[in-house]
A = this chain, B = another copy of it.
């Protein structure tokens, strides 16, 4: 392999400079393993272009040598979407040196940014210009915007602003043969033929490599209100969602469901977080934001919660009186994954359902899982407003985590079969990567897979872009 790789590597070195073609084991190691340490690959090299021209030349060089490429941003995929295979054939194309904000147009409320910029740097650049970029998720300090776009990231503000796909006006993409498509248009209306950017958004680098994007920016929130409500049943959470939407309209930006078990778990591992409404079965953490002047947000929120309590939809509720209190309430939610990790491995599911089906789904799923795994414990939380649940299973008391993990295929089958029956999705926001290719084959109709393959063949006939991911 070393012999045949030599001409390729020599050309790549002339394109990006010696220092930016990594081949030593220590140098490539950080790029070769996903951050959860589930996948380990062995790339032929890591190439780190600094400009679109360098990226295009690198891709052209790989294509001419028929060498497969793995595009990588911040390397935070939860599905092994950016990790190479073990064969030693693939070149990792790391976008992290392409991290410039190329332009901000305040009047047009747009930002043009390169793919390797971290999500938090994009948020900051928007804020510095007096505006706001709403995409927000746990990995925002290290994930790259190019990865967010190519995986159509979700996060905590989807209820109001949509997924990453909906935040993009234009793209620059390096195609499989190294040619550059410059679609960096900053237009909110443009009906001139097929909307090509949609092909590259969410296709996990299998159809082209996103090198830059024009993003939509929004007015900053001036007022934010965070509330926490205790509920008897999941169905009440859906009623509360309807009530808050009717009262607050567009101001409702987040609506998170949390089970009592999640609160107990978080407080066990993080005893400093408060327990504001102890003793209930379910909780909702809701946030509303208002960019308008003189907002009556707090009063509206309070009246909606009073109505919810009076009508029996909520059993109790509290509104954060300060930013510090709001942060404490969010800590209850945000510490769940880390608390889970500390208590040992879980069988995790990132599912979505029509909001209206969630109570029936939860009833049927727990009935089937109780029967299949007596004593199984449920760690159920998620973005209920989007129908997105993190439906995680912890081992029965006394069962070692690793032993329980061996049951994952059987548990997945129960959960995903039910999700399918309710018209849901087995991957709401994390994508397919390597992890869920089999589920895609199983749960999506054959005609859908066939259409995806036809698109793949049309755009990447040599099958060089991120092979073995998605399809």
Q: Give A residues with C-beta under 8 Å from B.
A: 105-110, 151-152, 154, 158-159, 162-163, 165-166, 175, 179-183, 185-196, 198-199, 201-203, 207, 219, 238, 241-242, 245-251, 290-294, 296, 299-300, 303-304, 352-357, 383, 386-388, 423-432, 436, 439-440, 443-445, 447-449, 451-452, 454-455, 457-459, 470-471
Contacts and interface: CB of A to CB of B under 8 A. Distances in A.
Given A354-B186, A387-B187, A219 B245 contact: yes
A383 B188 CA distance: 11
Q: Which of A154, A190, A246, A444 has most B Cβ within 10 Å?
A: A190
Contacts of A290: 249
Contacts of A388: 188-189
Given A108-B355, A248-B292, A440 B192 contact: yes
Query: For the complex formed by this chain, how many copies does it contain in all?
Result: 2
Contacts of A444: 192-193
A193 B440 contact: yes
Contacts of A152: 191, 195
A241 B109 CA distance: 11
A320 to B, nearest CB: 20
A322 to B, nearest CB: 23
A249 B163 CA distance: 20
A199 B193 contact: no
A428 B189 contact: yes
A196 B452 contact: yes
A187 B354 contact: yes
Given A151-B191, A187-B425, A198-B198, 7 more contacts: A107-B356, A108-B387, A188-B386, A189-B352, A194-B207, A194-B455, A250-B250
Nearest to A304: B293
A454 B452 CA distance: 14
A162 B165 CA distance: 12
B105 A354 contact: yes
Contacts of A192: 425-427, 432, 436, 439-440, 443-444
A187 B108 contact: no
A152 B197 CA distance: 14
A191 B445 CA distance: 15
A202 B196 contact: no
A451 B180 CA distance: 12
A455 to B, nearest CB: 6
A425 B190 contact: yes
B293 A219 contact: no
A207 to B, nearest CB: 8
| Smallest CB-CB A-B distances: 10 pairs | A249-B291, A198-B198, A107-B356, A458-B458, A189-B428, A190-B425, A249-B292, A454-B458, A108-B354, A250-B250
Nearest to A221: B249
A452 B459 CA distance: 10
